[in-house]
Amino acid sequence: MTSPRLPPQLLRLVLLTLAIIGTYSVARVFLTPATFGQFGHYRGAALEEAASRPPVYAGAKACDECHGDTFAQLTKARHRSVSCEACHGPNRPHVKNPDIVPAKLTDRHCVRCHLADAARPAKHRQINLTEHYPNEKCLECHVAHQPNQSK
Ligand code: HEC
Ligand code: HEC
Ligand code: HEC
Ligand code: HEC
């Protein structure tokens, strides 16, 4: 009786498959970050890395300390749900040192939230730039901190 032998083309396939699995297993050991899987399907050390980054936002409460009037004005207006830094940008450096002045805002800023866009909720106030007083500056008519008041 002759021992059963794999045909050579199958033998090559089996060897190739074993080589691929072997390479993958070895590479996996070396390439997987040490803390991967510590808590879940991600790098455990990523938590500490993200937490150690310095915060860039100060929060509206910090602005209230020096700009109490603006804060009070805003909380009474339709923009009350919009935080100071949603418009003025992250301003922690300015809070620590008021000499670092926040960047000036242009009309493009209003358009960022109010440009008519089918993807926005229908009840959000939106304008069509070609119909809503084109070529005029938003701030000539609207008060930024009190948009329901006209100038
Ligand atoms: C420690 C006090 C202080 C805090 C806190 C503070 N500001 Fe100010 N801010 C100032 C002073 C003082 C000026 C005036 C600077 C100038 O005109 O030279 C100013 C000016 C500004 C201006 C006008 C810049 C310009 O173009 O003239 C903006 C906008 C502003 N602050 C936004 C904010 C925001 C947003 C926050 C909260 C994240 C904030 N400020 C927190 C003191 C403060
Ligand atoms: C909806 C966007 C928006 C929000 C929210 C907002 N601001 Fe402003 N802010 C502006 C714009 C635009 C100007 C420029 C106004 C101008 O040039 O007439 C401005 C101007 C300012 C100025 C310069 C002086 C002035 O009153 O014109 C200060 C100070 C300021 N903002 C502080 C704040 C603080 C503090 C908050 C949060 C309580 C805040 N802003 C929230 C858009 C905003
Ligand atoms: C970060 C997003 C955001 C920015 C930037 C922004 N708005 Fe608004 N705006 C809102 C929200 C939220 C409301 C309240 C909900 C609503 O009415 O859709 C609102 C409401 C309004 C209203 C309706 C007021 C009323 O009486 O019902 C006007 C007008 C307006 N904004 C003008 C402006 C102008 C002018 C600027 C630029 C200085 C501006 N907005 C920048 C989010 C924004
Ligand atoms: C010539 C003055 C004028 C200019 C310039 C102007 N607006 Fe208005 N805006 C008004 C008046 C008046 C209303 C209220 C009546 C209306 O809806 O037309 C209004 C209403 C709005 C509303 C509420 C719309 C709604 O459905 O209730 C938003 C949002 C708005 N404007 C944003 C802006 C933005 C953003 C700019 C700059 C690109 C701008 N406006 C420029 C006068 C102006």
pLDDT tens for the chain, residues 1 to 151:
566 788 999 999 999 999 999 999 999 999 999 999 999 999 999 999 999 999 999 999 999 999 999 999 999 889 999 999 999 999 999 999 999 999 999 888 999 999 999 999 999 999 999 999 988 999 999 999 998 776 6
Domain ranges in the chain?
8-51, 60-150
127, 128, 129, 135, best to mutate for ligand 4 pocket (most atoms within 8 Å of CB) = 127
| Category of 31 on φ-ψ map: left (φ > 0), alpha (ψ -120 to 50) or beta | alpha
* Predicted TM-score of the model (pTM): 0.86
Report whether 92 contacts 70 (CB < 8 A).
no
Based on its alpha-carbon atoms, the radius of gyration of the chain, rounded to whole angstroms, reads: 30
**Can you tell me which atom of ligand 3 is nearest the CA of 143?**
35
